[in-house]
Amino acid sequence: MLAALEVRGDADPAVLAHHAEGAGDEKAVLRHAPDAARRSSALGAHREAAAQFERALRCADESDRPTLAPLYEGVADEYALLDRWPETEAALRIALAFRRELGDDLRAGRDLCVLSTALWRLCRGHESELAAHEAVGVLESAPPGPGLAWAYAKLGVAILASGRLDEGLELLAKARDLGEQLDQADVVSFALNAIGLTLVEDGQDGIPTIERALQIALGADVQEAAGRAYSSLQESSICLHHFDDAERYYAEGIAYCEERELGVFSTCLTGGRASALT
């Protein structure tokens, strides 16, 4: 069946990966499962994407670091969107160790950025800031790129969480500027979202800034950024006692997130609504 489908050339990679594993053909699994995972992720099927990365990991050679590292990074990204943070951290630490062994500083810096978020979600703020600082240190030694923009953004958020507003906002501004120079809608949306939340927490109206983050995310079809912005708009509206707006953002956001399996933001939206109703 696998051979016939491969010859035909138009089969769904998830079907090919299924038959490859059933046939015990590990090389074929590694050809098809990562493609199936990436396709599923793009379609908003993040549970399926995680399962496909897990399938590939079951068949990978434990000594093949260049193959294993992106698989662990891929599954970590999916776990994060599904709100599975302990598993996210575990996968990232393995990937980070492999990237360091391979001397791949750019990918190591990227993994540190994601790890910073995972640690923050796990309520380990000091470790989150350390990871973000390390990411900046690694990525500043290379030419400016998207990774450095993300590192500035993640460090900015970590520093804001510790109460150092001016320092955090300065880093977010650097992230936004670099993201705009590089045409990286995801990091620009992230930075604007964090700036807007900070304005709200400081007693100012940051909702237009977060609305801008949402529109950038929707325009570029950056689903994670859009889910984050919906959650932040709801949170900010509650803080400002704009409860009708909060309910509207909840309705729009939960529909968006549930359709795309953005479990982490569905959880935030549901928790926010519970808070508003009490």
The pLDDT assigned to 43 comes to 93
CATH assignment, 184-278: 1.25.40
| pLDDT of 144 | 92
What pLDDT digit, counting tens, does each position of 158-202 carry? 999 888 999 999 999 999 999 999 999 999 999 999 999 999 999
Q: Domain 61-156 has what CATH class? A: mainly alpha
pLDDT above 90 as % of the chain: 91
Tell me, what's the pLDDT at 77?
97
Q: What are the CB-based long-range contacts (under 8 Å, 24+) for 64-71?
A: 65/98, 65/101, 65/102, 66/102, 67/30, 68/94, 68/95, 68/98, 69/95, 69/98, 69/99, 69/102, 69/104, 69/107, 70/34, 70/95, 71/34
- The residues spanned by each domain of the chain are 1-60, 61-156, 184-278
CA-wise closest residue to 156 among 142, 173, 135, 178: 173
pLDDT interval class at 102 (50, 70, 90): very high
* Residue whose C-alpha is closest to residue 223's, from 231, 249, 20: 231
Tell me, yes or no, if the two domains 61-156 and 184-278 fold the same way: yes
pLDDT value of residue 7: 85
pLDDT at 100: 97
Question: Is 90 exceeded by the pLDDT of residue 34?
Answer: yes
Per the prediction, the chain carries an average pLDDT of: 95
As a whole number, mean pLDDT of residues 52-74 equals: 96
pLDDT at 132: 96
From start to end of 66-141, where are the E strands? none
